[in-house]
Chains A and B, each alone.
Chain A
Amino acid sequence: MSPELEIQLVASVVAAACALPGVFLVLRRMAMMSDAISHTVLLGIVLAFFVVQQFGHPLLIIGAAGVGVLTVSLTEMLNRTKLVKEDAAVGLVFPALFSVAVILIGLFARNVHLDQHMVFQGELAFTPFDRAIVFGLDLGPRTFVVMSVILLLNLAFVTLFFKELKLATFDPELAEALGFRPILLHYGLMTLVSLTAVGAFDAVGSILVVALMVVPPATAYLLTDKLSWMLGLSVLIGIASAVLGYWLASLLNSSIAGAMVTMTGVIFGLVFLLSPQRGMVALARRRMRQRWEFAQTMLAIHLLNHEATPEAQVENRLDHLSEGLRWEEPFAQKVVGYAERRGIVQEASGLLHLTDEGRRLAQQAMLR
């Protein structure tokens, strides 16, 4: 397999692995936890490294995931004291743990390739050179193998506990009452988030982890109301950003991880503007339409009110609407035009008449 293809494959696997737990982080309003965890795993890696003294050891991943879970529980402990607010608790815990890691590196591991730059950058371009060779068999880049295993774990967790996760996410009280132990699920999820963050860490850097965990699910959230669809869409959007980002990076000769994050942002921007149901454009159009429909209903009610009364000759004239409904002249013209096209009113020599359709509309509106 060519290195280009391998890099894209690794990136796609990372994107898919991050998107699955990310969906639940976004839905449970814990998105910033991914930021916290992806920084504090550095401490876990450092501590585990002091024990095993080598990179690529499985203990590194376990240590890092442990510190990730520790971050979560420390934050929750701080929350329970009620002395600081929830967001402040996150903001207090992770910089402290991260600082400890940076200081430990500075004190004891200066001549090892292990530094805080890893947290930010990570370089996907090098992944094809680090192969996973088992019994002389080349299984592909090491990151690819590690992330595939993590992806499978995430997939298994989400599939096996789909019902429970859904319930615990949307109605934790009910889940608790039914005896589903949402706290166990919560920590299971956090363990997976930590594992995923560590696995992706040296390949893509922590910021890409945060981006891939938060942005594709947030994007999918604007497109669908179904959890299963949201999971699938997040994975697809993640993979699309990964592949597009790769090509953007090779076009600009720039950082692959940075370009991928940029692409997640671009896709989010597009959906934010153009999503059929919830996009800004759809929102603006709906507001517009509601404005015209409301005006049309007002007009119909006004006409019905004065229909077949002596005032009708005055009140129901087109040029009287500015007084009767306090409308500006051009606006009144537009509303009448809008209503005429929809067969609500008919104009005859300056006098407005309701059609049957229009009468029904007005009566219904008044019943509401």
Chain B
Amino acid sequence: MDLIGELFTNYTLRNVALGTALIGIVSGALGCFAVLRKQSLLGDAISHAALPGVVAAFLITRSKSSFVLLVGALIAGWLATLLVMAVKRYTRIKEDSALGLALSTFFGFGVMLLAFTQTMPDARQAGLDRFLFGQAAAIVQRDVLTIAGIGFVALLVMVAFWKEFKLLSFDAEYAATLGFPVRLLDVMLTTLLVVAIVIGLQAVGVILMSAMVVAPASAARQWTDRLSVMVVLAALFGALSSIVGAVISSTGSGLGTGPVIVLCISAIVALSLLFAPNRGLVWNWLREQRSHRRLRVETVLADLYVLANQHENAMHGHSAEVLRAMNAGRGGVEYTLKQLQGRGWVQQTSPNQWALTQTGMTEAKRLLRESPGPAMPTQQPTPHAEVTP
């Protein structure tokens, strides 16, 4: 199976991979702004809301050229966004309900229009519903060019207004006080998102398009704290999952391109959540374990030091039970003692009797000097004080 070769020689596969990769790049990059502005679900709403625009564009022009349908989708998606903004602004209905409202009513209206066109005598309306489910296999070279052209313009606008969009995403109030036209920028950025979604709809479908907005950006967010890096990474993730998805679905029978792409990007998200440096769950867990262990070691060392100071003979052994009592149920005393013994800081004077070594004594002193923090026992080392268990 020469899949990589196929990618270059097979006409259909090349178009599908190229088309979906371009979609992945555009929606990945612009999705970053949506995710950062807590508008992830706006993508979902827009992609549903585009349907009536597609059908209406067909009803008015009687044309199925993808450009005409895209314009229809664009207008409907944009109107839905305006509806969401108006409802949020003028009523007490919250964002989530406003989104659900716009999404379902626009889509329902679209379904009604679609069913209406299907009763029309000629059969030219056939295929309009690929805007619902997407049909990546139907991407031809002209579609790739349309996607590339519109996507390029959208990305160009994004780069041209980079500074403004960045400010808007992170601190809209500050942008307003600096005198930037925040409302206008908001509408512009949202329009770009609508564009990104609409060009992808007929390839991957409504639901999967909303994933292409949220997922690449969420994955990229884990790897960096810089917006520029995040946008580039998200575009890369979007493209990568699209190409891999297209190739996988070209091999197996019955594997739709859209769903496979979504699973690929979901896998990237899962890996990023787990393994991204600094933020990843795995590193986080390891860090937690390490600090727990350090905490236990320091506590036992300090406790032994306290005991040594309370005893005339510093090298007098103390049983693990005493240490456990001082340790207030944090557990793992025996294990920690073994570890400390390995480092040569603690020695066993007789079975189950423990004392600090000379190095251990120096270590404990250093520790108490350096970090009088929460790792320290509550009792301060006061020489020859009463032992209070």
By the criterion CB–CB under 8 Å, are B111 and A32 in contact?
no
Question: Chain B residues near A29 (CB, 8 Å)?
Answer: 94-97
CB distance from A207 to the nearest CB of B (A): 5
Residue from A91, A99, A264 within 8 A of B41 (CB atoms)? A91
By the criterion CB–CB under 8 Å, are A95 and B208 in contact?
yes
Report whether over half of chain A's contact residues are helix, strand or loop; otherwise say mixed. helix
By the criterion CB–CB under 8 Å, are B207 and A253 in contact?
no
Question: Chain B residues near A214 (CB, 8 Å)?
Answer: 97, 100-101, 104
By the criterion CB–CB under 8 Å, are B114 and A255 in contact?
yes
By the criterion CB–CB under 8 Å, are B93 and A221 in contact?
yes
By the criterion CB–CB under 8 Å, are B108 and A261 in contact?
yes
Residue from B40, B44, B101, B259 within 8 A of A99 (CB atoms)? B259
By the criterion CB–CB under 8 Å, are A91 and B210 in contact?
yes
A99, B96: Cα distance in complex, Å:
23
Tell me if A201 counts as interface (CB < 8 A to partner B): no
Residues A278 and B92 in contact in the complex (CB < 8 Å), given A99-B208, A258-B112, A262-B109: yes
By the criterion CB–CB under 8 Å, are A102 and B35 in contact?
no
By the criterion CB–CB under 8 Å, are B218 and A92 in contact?
yes
By the criterion CB–CB under 8 Å, are B111 and A34 in contact?
no
Task: Give the interface segment out of B137-145, B261-269, B303-311, B370-378.
Answer: B261-269
Task: Give the interface segment out of A53-61, A78-86, A352-360.
Answer: A78-86
Tell me if B9 counts as interface (CB < 8 A to partner A): no
Residue of B nearest to A271 (CB): B91
Residue of B nearest to A91 (CB): B214
By the criterion CB–CB under 8 Å, are B109 and A261 in contact?
yes
By the criterion CB–CB under 8 Å, are A264 and B105 in contact?
yes
The digit string for A80-117, where 1 denotes a CB below 8 A from any CB of B, is 01011111101110111011101100110010000011
Residues A99 and B218 in contact in the complex (CB < 8 Å), given A31-B100, A117-B133: no
Residues facing A in B192-209 (CB within 8 A) are 207-208
The digit string for B86-123, where 1 denotes a CB below 8 A from any CB of A, is 01001111111111110111111111111110010000
Tell me if A270 counts as interface (CB < 8 A to partner B): no
Residue from B103, B115, B222 within 8 A of A210 (CB atoms)? B103
Residue from A78, A102, A222 within 8 A of B93 (CB atoms)? A222
By the criterion CB–CB under 8 Å, are A85 and B40 in contact?
yes
Residue of A nearest to B102 (CB): A265
Residues A207 and B43 in contact in the complex (CB < 8 Å), given A88-B214, A99-B258, A103-B263: no
Report whether over half of chain B's contact residues are helix, strand or loop; otherwise say mixed. helix
CB distance from B324 to the nearest CB of A (A): 33
Tell me if B273 counts as interface (CB < 8 A to partner A): yes
Question: Chain A residues near B105 (CB, 8 Å)?
Answer: 211, 215, 261-262, 264-265, 268
The digit string for A173-213, where 1 denotes a CB below 8 A from any CB of B, is 00000000000000000000000000000000101101101
Tell me if A332 counts as interface (CB < 8 A to partner B): no
By the criterion CB–CB under 8 Å, are B100 and A272 in contact?
no
Question: Chain A residues near B35 (CB, 8 Å)?
Answer: 84-85, 88
A249, B98: Cα distance in complex, Å:
25
How many residues of chain B get a CB closer than 8 Å to chain A's CBs?
A: 63
Tell me if B318 counts as interface (CB < 8 A to partner A): no
By the criterion CB–CB under 8 Å, are B100 and A254 in contact?
no
CB distance from A92 to the nearest CB of B (A): 6
Among B259, B266, B281, the most chain A Cβ lie within 10 Å of the Cβ of B259
Tell me if A351 counts as interface (CB < 8 A to partner B): no
By the criterion CB–CB under 8 Å, are A99 and B97 in contact?
no
By the criterion CB–CB under 8 Å, are A258 and B99 in contact?
no
By the criterion CB–CB under 8 Å, are A103 and B207 in contact?
no
Tell me if A257 counts as interface (CB < 8 A to partner B): yes
Question: Chain A residues near B214 (CB, 8 Å)?
Answer: 88, 91-92, 95
Tell me if A218 counts as interface (CB < 8 A to partner B): yes
Tell me if A132 counts as interface (CB < 8 A to partner B): no
The digit string for A26-63, where 1 denotes a CB below 8 A from any CB of B, is 10011110110001000000000000000000000000
By the criterion CB–CB under 8 Å, are A272 and B111 in contact?
no
Tell me if B182 counts as interface (CB < 8 A to partner A): no
By the criterion CB–CB under 8 Å, are A255 and B115 in contact?
yes
Tell me if B48 counts as interface (CB < 8 A to partner A): yes
Question: Chain B residues near A98 (CB, 8 Å)?
Answer: 207, 259, 262
A104, B264: Cα distance in complex, Å:
15
By the criterion CB–CB under 8 Å, are A253 and B104 in contact?
no
By the criterion CB–CB under 8 Å, are B96 and A31 in contact?
yes
Residue of B nearest to A284 (CB): B90
By the criterion CB–CB under 8 Å, are B108 and A257 in contact?
yes
Among A90, A117, A258, A264, the most chain B Cβ lie within 10 Å of the Cβ of A258
Tell me if A231 counts as interface (CB < 8 A to partner B): no
Tell me if A260 counts as interface (CB < 8 A to partner B): yes
Residues facing A in B255-281 (CB within 8 A) are 255-256, 258-260, 262-263, 266, 269, 273, 279, 281
Residues A210 and B133 in contact in the complex (CB < 8 Å), given A102-B259, A254-B119: no
Residues A83 and B38 in contact in the complex (CB < 8 Å), given A210-B103, A257-B108: no
Name A residues whose Cβ lies closer than 8 Å to a Cβ of B: 26, 29-32, 34-35, 39, 78, 81, 83-88, 90-92, 94-96, 98-100, 102-103, 106-107, 110, 116-117, 120-121, 205, 207-208, 210-211, 213-215, 217-218, 221-222, 248-249, 252-255, 257-262, 264-265, 268, 272, 278, 280, 283
In the complex, 19 of the A-B residue pairs with CB atoms within 8 angstroms, ordered by the A residue number, are A26-B94, A35-B44, A35-B100, A91-B211, A92-B269, A94-B207, A96-B266, A99-B208, A106-B259, A205-B111, A207-B104, A221-B93, A222-B92, A253-B116, A255-B114, A261-B107, A261-B112, A262-B108, A264-B105
Top-8 shortest CB links A-B: A261-B108, A258-B112, A265-B105, A95-B211, A258-B111, A255-B115, A211-B104, A106-B254
